[in-house]
Amino acid sequence: MNRALILAALVGLASSIASAQSRTTGDCVLMVPDSTNDRVMLFDSADGSLITDNFIDMVPQGAATPVNAVQVGSEIWVSDQVADSIFRYSLDGTTFLGAITGGMDNIRGFEVVGNTAYVTNAGSSNGAPGNGIVTIDVATQTINGFFATGDNGDGSPFDVLSYFGNLLINDINGEDIDVFDNSGNFQSVFVESDGISGIDFPEQMTTTEFGNVLAGGFSDPAGIYEYDNGGNLLNYYDVNRSVRGVYELDNGNIMFTSGDGVFVLDTATGAITTSISGVSARFIECVVPAPSSVALLGLAGIAAFRRRR
């Protein structure tokens, strides 16, 4: 396939699904914030290899600890845990579009469903409401609601995942993963953990091709946890690191992040390869690049798309 045809295919792809925020799609590349250097990196969703370590430079905007970069329509939003802000960029990563500030403190992961962004919040500075979920109207970029989390209403959430019409929201206080509806009403406990024999300090959650849930366990027993749609543990992978981000690659292996880099676990052999080291890597998300960014990604980025024809 020549370059002209590849570019034409990418234009069609971007126009058809750029507005769909998804945790799992093969037609994308993967964004990972690096809170050491305040930037967003890009990786190949086929095998987890590095495409570029500086897709978005967040230093000029005063970023402090970027955690979660999410495609929101034709923009990329990046939550910052210490700056207490969500920074907005163009889809090609080159243009800063503004920041959503105020009413949030100690924010981590977030999820977008329809016109609502569900943002994890754990502090009360800046007029923030404390532990729970702050909701943001995507169209106006304004806060329009809040609800408490945890099965007792005192949970400290670290990530939100849209799952079978509801929201999975984890709790680093109770170590559980709970189910809420999109209006913020508690439904049930999805995973109940004692933090000793089960997951402790759950961070990012994503879904696999078959609808299972991957969750990163940061504290001992640290590792990668896989649950079925009923919350039953299917697999536990001890990767000898405190896991933050998790993502199933197109080849079935699992990409994960920690405070010392980005890695890929071969689920068949247990072998771990390094995509990049020496960075404090955070959550992993799909992005369908804008056609104008293809040239910026270079041949590596084009090759990544060619492998997923």
Q: What is the overall mean pLDDT for the chain?
A: 89
242-273: pLDDT as tens digits: 999 999 999 999 999 999 999 999 999 999 99
Question: Positive or negative, the Cα torsion across 75, 25, 157, 221?
Answer: negative
| DSSP reduced 3-state for 112 | strand
Question: In this predicted structure, what is the pLDDT of residue 293?
Answer: 63
> Which residues, other chains included, contact 222 with Cβ-Cβ below 8 Å and sequence gap of 6+?
200, 238, 239, 241, 242, 243
Q: What are phi and psi of 238, to 5 degrees?
A: -85, 105
Tens digits of per-residue pLDDT, 115-127? 999 999 999 999 9
Question: Domain limits at 210?
Answer: 3-306
Q: What is the pLDDT of residues 155-189, one digit of tens each?
A: 999 999 999 999 999 999 999 999 999 999 999 99
The residue among 150, 160, 147 whose CA lies nearest residue 108 is 160
Predicted confidence (pLDDT) per residue in 57-116, tens digit: 999 999 999 999 999 999 999 999 999 999 999 999 999 999 999 999 999 999 999 999
CB atoms inside a 10 Å sphere around CB 2: 7
So what's the pLDDT on residue 159? 98
The one-letter amino acid code at 144 reads: N
Give the count of domains, the chain: 1
- Identify residue 170 by its one-letter amino acid code: N
Residue 300 sits in a domain whose CATH number is: 2.130.10.10
Q: What is the pTM of this model?
A: 0.89
Checking if the pLDDT of 307 tops 50, the result is no
DSSP string for residues in 24-73 = --SSSEEEEEETTTTEEEEEETTT--EEEEEEEE-GGGT-S-EEEEEEET
